[in-house]
Amino acid sequence: MNIIQTALLKLSSGEAMAFPTETVYGLGADCTNDSAVQKIFTLKGRPAFNPLIIHVSDIHMAFKYGEFNDTARTLANKFWPGPLTIVVPLNKNAKISSYVTAGLDTIAIRCPNHPVALDLLQQYNVPIAAPSANISGYVSPTKYEHVHDEFGDKVFIVPGDQSCIGLESTIVDCSVTDVAILRPGFITKENIETILNMPLTEKTSSEVIKAPGQFKLHYSPKLPVRLNVTNVHPNEALLNFGQNALTADISLNLSPQGNLDEAATNLFDYLRKLDKHPNITGIAVSPIPCEKIGVAINERLDRAASK
Ligand code: TXA
Ligand code: MG
């Protein structure tokens, strides 16, 4: 049996399995199977009120689960397959586990641009519900080894390369009249505004999901993170960007050339590497320009620092 066949068997027998996407690795299960979806929440330690994204092979599969208005259709046609998750009203006739949506009447849908993920989805022919394949609250995984670090042999992992984008998808809410960005990502607010020819509002997912106990979700390393540093304290590791005068004994540079795309690809891998380093008391991060995907990089770093 090859790897894809093993993964398909896991899905059809109600197990969770991890797989690569272009953004981060996902921990997936059959979105129609209650107990399979519950396994995702248990494995991650994820609160039940936090809904999951379903992954589809194409727009036609998406239409069976969500009600796509003109705006949502335009965005799906333009950006799929790709790193954009679209929130739409749930199709009332959809056969889907209510654990996926956490009981909401909207659903988040994404068609990933990754050959392995698309192969799985086309062959399985049912959407895969999948959050990032990390323990809830920790940094998202962008490499096979990151997922293995989190779950060991408890979860079957479809191997793949490092996720090329390296940050979770942009989430856009099309279920409301004032279309809003809920999470910044590789596809920027400006990219979406250009396609829709209108300005967007910015909200957070937690403002939209008004469930009891909802909190600002952190995605933090274990070590404290200090941002926009101008000096590095003794025993701190340095996460640097571009060329500057900052130095430290333990240091990684997200992109010595100052390329924001490269920095995004490396961000979670380098945070995980520094977090594992013995004898370090914190991670100092140099300033990173807040433009293009730098907006998403800074948003993830803000969360990492807000523990
Ligand atoms: O790139 C990605 O999006 C990755 C890969 C695996 O596709 N997935 C991912 O899933 O980042 P997760 O669960 O880590 O983040 C999904 C976010 C959560 O913040 C959740 O609250 C939000 O999407 N979400 C899910 N359904 C929603 C809905 N109906 N309305 C608003 N936000 C929703
Ligand atoms: Mg996540």
In a domain? residue 207: no
The answer to whether the beta carbons of residues 56 and 127 sit under 8 Å apart is yes
The span from the CA of 96 to the CA of 11, in Å, is 15
Separation of CA 15 and ligand 1 centre (Å) = 20
pLDDT tens, residue by residue, 55-74 = 999 999 999 999 999 999 99
In a domain? residue 262: yes
Phi, psi of 61 (to 5 degrees): -65, -40
pLDDT at residue 217 in the model: 60
Taking residue 110's Cβ as centre, other Cβ atoms within 10 Å add up to: 29
Instruction: Outline where the chain has alpha helix (H).
Output: 3-12, 34-44, 59-63, 70-79, 98-101, 115-124, 144-151, 189-196, 205-208, 260-276, 294-305
In a domain? residue 211: no
From 43, 49, 218, 221, select the one nearest 133 (Cα to Cα). 43
Same domain, 53 and 137: yes
Same domain, 135 and 274: no
Using CA atoms, how far residue 303 sits from 75, 166, 220, in Å, is 27, 16, 7
Mutate to test the pocket of ligand 1, among 168, 183, 293 (most ligand atoms within 8 A of CB): 168
Region 248-256 average pLDDT:
98
Same domain, 95 and 195: yes
In a domain? residue 218: no
Q: H or E element: which one contains 172?
A: strand 170-173
Same domain, 89 and 173: yes
- Closest approach atom of ligand 1 to CA 104: 29
pLDDT at residue 71 in the model: 98
pLDDT tens, residue by residue, 14-24 = 999 999 999 99
Region 267-291 average pLDDT:
97
Range of the domain at 89: 3-202
In a domain? residue 84: yes
pTM of the model: 0.96
Separation of CA 97 and ligand 2 centre (Å) = 19
pLDDT at residue 211 in the model: 44
pLDDT at residue 212 in the model: 41
Same domain, 101 and 137: yes
Where residue 209 falls among pLDDT bands split at 50, 70, 90?
A: low
pLDDT at residue 17 in the model: 98
In the chain, the number of structural domains is 2
Separation of CA 182 and ligand 1 centre (Å) = 10
pLDDT at residue 203 in the model: 76
Ligand 1 close to Cβ of residue 22 (< 6 A): no
Q: Whose CA is nearest to atom 10 of ligand 1?
A: 131
- Closest approach atom of ligand 1 to CA 134: 14
The CATH number of the domain holding residue 263 is 3.40.50.11030
- Closest approach atom of ligand 1 to CA 53: 25
Mutate to test the pocket of ligand 1, among 43, 85, 173 (most ligand atoms within 8 A of CB): 85
In a domain? residue 146: yes
Output the CA torsion 235→239→243→244 (10° steps).
Answer: -40
Same domain, 242 and 299: yes
pLDDT tens, residue by residue, 117-156 = 999 999 999 999 999 999 999 999 999 999 999 999 999 9
Mapping DSSP onto H, E and C, the string for 204-233 reads CHHHHCCCCCCCCCCCCCCCCEECCCCCCC
The CATH number of the domain holding residue 173 is 3.90.870.10
pLDDT at 214 over 50: no
In a domain? residue 20: yes
Separation of CA 279 and ligand 1 centre (Å) = 34
Q: What angle do helix axes 294-305 and 260-276 make, rounded to 10 degrees?
A: 20
Ligand 1 close to Cβ of residue 110 (< 6 A): yes
Separation of CA 171 and ligand 2 centre (Å) = 12
Same domain, 231 and 198: no
User: Given 167, 202, 237, which residue is the final one in a domain?
Assistant: 202
Same domain, 150 and 239: no
Percent of the chain residues topping a pLDDT of 90: 92
Q: 81 preceded by cis ω (within 30°)?
A: yes
The span from the CA of 156 to the CA of 62, in Å, is 26
Using CA atoms, how far residue 74 sits from 37, 53, 201, 259, in Å, is 30, 19, 18, 30
Same domain, 20 and 92: yes
pLDDT at 166 over 80: yes
Same domain, 166 and 240: no
In a domain? residue 213: no
Same domain, 151 and 195: yes
Separation of CA 175 and ligand 1 centre (Å) = 15
Same domain, 230 and 166: no
- Closest approach atom of ligand 1 to CA 27: 6
Q: Please, what is the average pLDDT of the chain?
A: 95
User: Given 149, 169, 202, which residue is the final one in a domain?
Assistant: 202
Ligand 1 close to Cβ of residue 24 (< 6 A): yes
